[in-house]
Amino acid sequence: MAKTQLPDAILVNRYIDGDENSLAILVERHQSKIYGYIYSKVSDRDLTEDIFQETFFKVIHTLKSKKYYNEEGKFLSWVLRIANNLIVDKFRNDKKMLMKRDTDEFSVFSSLTDNAPNIEKELIKNQVDIDLKKIIQKLPHDQKEVLMMRYYSDMSFKEIADITGVSVNTTLGRMRYAITNLRKVIEKNQIYLPS
């Protein structure tokens, strides 16, 4: 695999082991997102450069001293957290918050996203939940029981097997039949369930 395609976790480990080029790849890979994130908060090019630089100084220091950082494939979010802390420190020192404005050069919406479902999606989801529960009620009791415990009570198959007094294999079989029957009912009645 080409070095530039290696995942962050491997590059971080290589960097900790002394491979300076790995850091260059990580910086190249994430510079736009990190820089854009900082700029979205401070709206000042020079300040963004300073904070970007300081963020990576902290990253380098932390990685080289082999402390704090626990890699779980989340290098970018870790760096963004450091950047965010530096921004907060900066505003705390200045005791003021800048107001962000949309300009031709920068759109606040290019870096800010709202992942929360909107009202329409919420309504559709509620309707789907209601429809699904109605279909589940039509399943045979043993299959319905397994499905409800697995998806609505978040229980493991082992726990379900213990409670229902059957083997794990039987539980898995019931679950499979439940899913198959659900699909049949959905297809037969041409019910639309958006994912």
Partner 1 sequence: MAKLYSKRKLAPKKMLPKKETIRLILQYSCALNIVKVGNMSFDTIAN
Footprint of partner 1 (CB under 8 A): 20, 23-24, 27, 31-32, 35-36, 39, 48-49, 52-53, 56-57, 60-61, 64-65, 104-107, 110
For tokens 């790995």, the residue is: 22
Q: Closest separation between CB of residue 105 and partner 1, Å?
A: 7
Q: Closer to partner 1 by CB, 98 or 123: give it.
A: 98
Tokens standing for 32?
């736009």
| Eight-class DSSP state of 111 | T
Question: Which residues lie below 8 Å from residue 168, measured CB to CB, with a gap of 6+?
Answer: 157, 158, 161
Contact between residue 124 and residue 194 where contact means Cβ atoms under 8 Å apart: yes
Q: Closest separation between CB of residue 62 and partner 1, Å?
A: 10
Residue 57: CB atoms within 10 Å: 12
Q: Closest separation between CB of residue 104 and partner 1, Å?
A: 5
Which of 164, 123, 121, 129 shows the shortest CA–CA distance to 144?
164
Angstrom distance (rounded) from CA 100 to CA 38: 12
Q: Could you give the C-alpha distances from 12 to 16, 33, 82, 133, 179, in angstroms and in order?
A: 6, 18, 16, 47, 42
Q: Closest separation between CB of residue 76 and partner 1, Å?
A: 15
Q: Closer to partner 1 by CB, 31 or 126: give it.
A: 31
Q: Closer to partner 1 by CB, 32 or 189: give it.
A: 32
Q: Closer to partner 1 by CB, 52 or 75: give it.
A: 52
Q: Closest separation between CB of residue 117 and partner 1, Å?
A: 25
Q: Closer to partner 1 by CB, 110 or 126: give it.
A: 110
